[in-house]
Chain A
Amino acid sequence: MSTWQNPLRDPRDKRLPRIAGPCGLVIFGVTGDLSRKKLMPAIYDLANRGLLPPGFALTGFARREWENQDFAQVVYEAVKAHARTPFRQEVWDRLAEGIRFVQGTFDDDEAFDRLAETVRQLDEERGTGGNHAFYLSIPPAAFPVVCKQLARSGLAHQDGESWRRVVIEKPFGHDLESARELNQIVNEVFPEESVFRIDHYLGKETVQNILALRFANQLYEPIWNANYVDHVQITMAEDIGLGGRAGYYDGIGAARDVIQNHLLQLMAFTTIEDPVSFSPQSLRTERIKVLAATKPAQPFSETTARGQYTGGWQGGKKVPGLLEEEGFPPDSKTETFAAITLEVNTRRWAGVPFYLRTGKRLGRRVTEIAVMFKRAPHLPFDQTSTEELGQNAVVIRIQPDEGITIRFGSKVPGTTMEVRDVTMDFSYGRAFTESSPEAYERLILDVLLGEPSLFPVADEIERSWEILDPILEFWSQQGRPDPYAPGEWGPPSADKMLARTGRTWRHP
C-alpha cells in the first residue's frame, strides 16, 4: 500500500488542502461550555472551508433527553453564535444531515450499546468507514468509566482498515503519579498513537510561528543562546477571576492549570534545538529532550512566588477576592498567581533563567514570550546618554494582538546624544486574525487526519510534571499564598523573586 501513489497528488500542488478521509466524531460532554463555544463552531468552520470529508458525522452523547434534531438545534445555535466564518446554509445542511444524538449516562451499558449501534449505522448511511474519533470533553474523573465503556461496547476496537482515536483535554493529572495513572487507563484501551491530548496553545498560529521565526531565519538563531540572552520571561495573564469555576479550580491552582501544560510547551518551543526535520517524530524528540534537561531553580523560597487575589477595584468595577468567590472555602490555599524559575541544562541555555508566570485578575489578558538580551558589553557613550536605554528584547506576542515586537535603542532627535528604547513591530494585524483559523480547527482537523505533531505525548506530560512536582510539594508545606490586589501584576513576592538577581518583570 505504501508504494501506491495518488496520481492526482503532486507535492508541488500547494493549493490542494488535505481533506480528512471518511470519518465521524463523537463528543462526550456536548452540553459543556467548551463544546458549544469552541468545538461545534470549529467543526462548522472546517466544513465551511471544505476540509471535512463528504459524509462527515457528528454524534453527541449526554444525559439530556434530546432527539437528533434537538441536538442539531443546539449545534446550530452554537455555530450561529460563535463560528468564525460566515454562515452558509448549504454547508450547514450537509453538516446537519450527519448529526446524531445518543442519550445516556457514563455508567449505562445500554446507552453505550446504542452509541455503538449509531456509529455502525453511520458507517452504512454516511460511509464513515469505521473511522471514529472520541472527544472526551468531560472531567478526568470520568475517563476510567468512559474508556472502559468504549472498550466493552467494542467502540474502541480498530482493525487494519479503520481507525479509532481518542481526544482528551487538560488537566492531564495533578501530579506525576496521577498523570501516569491516567495515561495507563487511557492506554489500556487506546494505543499511544491513537491518543490525542489537546493543548490548544499548540494549535495557535503564533506558536507554530515560533518555529518559523527561529528555524527559517538567519537573523535570530545566532543570538538565540546563553551568550546573548540574559533571561526569558513567559507570561500568561488573565484579567478575569474564578467566579463559577470553584469546582474545577479549587485545590488545582494556577501552576497545575497553566504552567504544567501551556507555559512549559511554550518554553519547549522557545528552547528546542533544530529538529532533524519537521516530522512529528523529530519535533517530539526535541521537545522531550529539552523538557528532560529542564530543572526548577533552587531554593524555592527565593525562586518561586505564588499569590491569591483579594477583593477590590479592577477596571472600574468592584470585584470579589478569591475567598469570597462562590464555592471556594474561606481558608482556601489555592494559588491564583504562580511564578517559577527554571533552568535548562544544555550547552545552549546554561545559566539563562526562564521565568514563567501566570495568574488570574491581573492587569490585562495577555500571553507572550519575552527573550531579553544582555546589554552591549561596552557602550561608547557617556553614562547620561544611555540612562534610558534598557535591554534589547524580542517579544513574541501569542495573544491577543498576535505578532512580534523587537525593542532596541535609538537616538532621541536633538542636539545631544541621547539613546532611548524604541520598538519595532510585526503584527499579524487586527484584521488578519479574523480569518486566521482558530486553534481548535487546526487541532480537530489534525486528529481526523491522524497528524500528531501538535499534540503532547505521554512522555512530555510526565516530564513536565517532574519539573513542577518539587515546587508544588514545597508550596504545600508553606502557609497561604501572598495576597495581591486585582488588576495588578501579582504579589510583591513575585517582584522580589526577580529583584534578587537585579532583574524586573516586563510590563506586558
Chain B
Amino acid sequence: MIIDMPTTNTAKVNAKIVELRQQGGAVALGRVLTLVIVTDDGEKTEEAIDAANEASREHPCRVIVVARGAREAAPRLDAQIRVGGDAGASEVVVLRIYGELVEHGETCVIPLLLPDAPVVAWWPSEAPEKPAEDPIGQLAHRRITDAATDPDPTRALEQRRLSYAEGDTDLAWTRLTQWRAYLAAALDLPPHEEVTGATVAGATDSPSTDLLAGWLAAYLKIPVRRVPPRKNAPGINSVVLERKSGAVELTRPDGKVGTLRQPGQPDRRVALARRNVKDCLVEELRRLDPDEIYEATLLEGLNRVNIGAEEPAAAPA
C-alpha cells in the first residue's frame, strides 16, 4: 500500500503511521533499526529503496528516505508512506524535501526515528565530506557510504581516510568480504609460513582493490604492491601472497569466477561474483558496532601500499 501525503509535516506523517498500524495489525512492531537513506531525488532513489526493502527481509527496519529535490523551489515536504507488499518487511517513509528545507533534512528525520533503536545512515551515491559531522550522520550509530559510486572513487576513498570516525563504513569494503574470507581460509591451512610479499591487481579506479591491499598491508605487516589489472578486468583482479614454498594466488579475470592456486595442490575454482548492493547492505546491517578492521585498513594499511605501474609479477593464468 502506498499513501501519498503532499505538502505535509512530520506530525501528520507520524499520526498516519500509527493509524495504519492500528488498521492493519502489528505491521510496525518488531523493527530492529531505523535506516535513513539520503539521496538526491531521482531514479537512484527507487534503486536504493528496493535494496533496502530486500535487506529488510533479514533486518526488519523502518526506512526513511530523505530525497533532496530542487533547492530553488519554495520550502516544502512531500511524504509518501509504503507498507505491506510495497515495502518488503519494512515500512518506508519517503520524504521529498525542497527549497531551504534541503539543508535541514535532519529536522524531518528526528520525529520519525524508532524509539530506542539504532539508526543507520546510508548515502547510496555521493556522501558528505565528513559523514560523522553531517547532521544526519550525527544521528546515526553507523554511517554507510559507497566510494565506488563517487565520480572520483580514489579521491572519495582518500576523503574517507581523512574523515574516519567510529561507526563509518563503506560498501567498497563490504564488497571485499568474500575475497578476504578465501584468503584467510587459504592461510589457515599448512604450511604455516610467513607471507613475505603481496601484490594486488585491480582496476585503477577500484576502491575495493585499494582496501584489499590496505587490509593485507595492515595485517601481514609487509609492504603491498598495488598494480593495474592484466586486462581491462572490472574491480579486483588478483591477489598474490608470496611464501617460501610458493605463492598463494587468487585470481578473478572475468569478474565472476575465481581460481585459487596453491603450490602442490590442484587449482580450485570458486564462485566469486561481484556482490550487488543488496547483499552488501544486508551484511552491513548485521553489525552495528565500529568496525576496527576497516579502521586499521584505512588508517594503517593504505599508507603501506605501494602503487606500482607494471603488470603483476604473477605466473601466467
Please report A residues at the B interface, Cβ cutoff 8 Å: 1, 4, 6-10, 12-17, 19, 21-22, 47-48, 50, 53-55, 88, 90-91, 93-94, 97, 124-127, 129, 161, 425-427, 429-432, 434-436
Interface residues of B (CB under 8 A from A): 26, 29-30, 56-58, 60, 88-89, 174, 177-178, 180-185, 187-190, 192, 195, 216, 219-221, 256-258, 260, 262, 265-266, 268-271, 273, 282-283, 286-287, 291-293
Min CB–CB distance A423 → chain B (angstroms): 11
Q: Is A7's CB under 8 angstroms from B195's CB?
A: yes
Minimal beta-carbon separation of B29 from chain A (angstroms): 7
Q: With CB as the reference atom, state the residue of chain A lying closest to B26.
A: A425
Chain A neighbourhood of B177, CB < 8 A: 15-17
Chain B proximity of A228: nearest CB distance (Å): 26
In the complex where A54-B260, A54-B270, A94-B271 touch, is A13 in contact with B188 (Cβ < 8 A)? no
- In the complex the two chains form, is B266's CB within 8 Å of A12's CB? no
A8-B219 contact in complex given A125-B266, A425-B26, A431-B60, C-beta closer than 8 Å? yes
Question: Please, how many angstroms separate the alpha-carbon atoms of A426 and B31 in the complex?
Answer: 10
Smallest distance from the beta carbon of B30 to chain A beta carbons, Å?
Answer: 6
Question: Quick check: B187 and A8 within 8 Å, CB to CB?
Answer: yes
Known contacts A1-B192, A22-B265, A161-B190, then 6 further A-B pairs from the complex at CB < 8 Å, ordered by chain A residue = A4-B192, A16-B177, A16-B184, A47-B271, A93-B271, A431-B88
B contact residues around A90 at 8 Å (CB): 256-257, 271, 273
Docked pose: A232 CA to B292 CA in angstroms:
44
> Nearest Cβ distance between residue B245 and chain A, in whole angstroms?
15
Contact of A94 among B58, B185, B257 (CB under 8 A): B257
Can you show 24 pairs from A to B with CB atoms below 8 A apart?
A7-B187, A7-B195, A8-B187, A9-B188, A15-B293, A16-B180, A17-B181, A47-B271, A54-B269, A55-B260, A55-B266, A94-B270, A97-B269, A127-B262, A127-B265, A129-B265, A425-B29, A426-B30, A430-B89, A431-B56, A431-B60, A431-B88, A432-B58, A434-B57
Q: How far is the CA of A55 from the CA of B258 in the complex (A)?
A: 11
| A16-B257 in contact (CB<8A) | no
The minimal Cβ–Cβ distance linking B171 to chain A, given in whole angstroms, is 13
Q: Chain A residues with Cβ under 8 A from B220's Cβ?
A: 7-8
Known: A88-B271, A94-B269, A425-B29. A432 touches B185 (CB 8 A): no
How many angstroms between the C-alpha atoms of A435 and B265 in the bound complex?
35
Measured between alpha carbons, how far is A124 from B189 in the docked complex, in Å?
A: 17
| CB–CB B57/A124 < 8 A | no
- CB-CB under 8 A from A88, the residues of chain B are 271, 273
Least CB distance from B290 to A in Å reads 9
On whether the beta carbons of A435 and B266 are closer than 8 Å, the reply is: no
| Chain A to chain B: the 7 pairs with minimum beta-carbon distance, closest first | A54-B268, A431-B89, A55-B268, A8-B184, A54-B270, A4-B192, A19-B185
Chain B residues within 8 Å of A94, by CB: 257, 269-271
Cα of A117 to Cα of B128 in the assembled complex, Å: 61
Whether the Cβ atoms of A91 and B188 lie closer than 8 Å is: no
A426 nearest in chain B by CB position = B30
Contact A21 B189 (CB under 8 A): yes
CB proximity of B239 to chain A, nearest CB, Å: 11
Cβ A435 vs Cβ B268 within 8 A: no
Q: Verify A12–B268 contact, CB threshold 8 A.
A: no
CB pair A432–B219 under 8 Å, yes or no, is: no
Contacts of A55 in B (CB 8 A): 260, 266, 268-269
**Chain B residue at minimum C-beta to C-beta distance from A126:** B266
Q: Are A91 and B271 in contact (CB under 8 A)?
A: yes
Contact status of A21 and B283, CB under 8 A, knowing A54-B260, A54-B268:
no
Cβ–Cβ < 8 Å partners of B268 in chain A? 22, 53-55, 126-127
Taking the closest CB of chain B, its distance from the CB of A234, in whole angstroms, is: 25
A432-B57, A432-B60 known; A21 and B185 CB under 8 Å?
Answer: yes
Cβ–Cβ contact A10 & B219, under 8 A: yes
Q: Is the CB of A50 within 8 A of B178?
A: yes
Most chain A C-beta atoms within 10 Å of own C-beta, residue among B26, B220, B268: B268
Is the beta-carbon distance between B58 and A7 smaller than 8 angstroms?
Answer: no
- Given A8-B219, A431-B88: A16 touches B29 (CB 8 Å cut-off): no
CA distance A16 to B178 in the complex (A): 8
Whether the Cβ atoms of B266 and A19 lie closer than 8 Å is no
Is A9 in contact with B184, judged by CB distance below 8 angstroms? yes
Cα–Cα distance between A425 and B26 once the two chains are bound (Å):
10
Assembled-state Cα–Cα distance A352/B317 (Å): 68
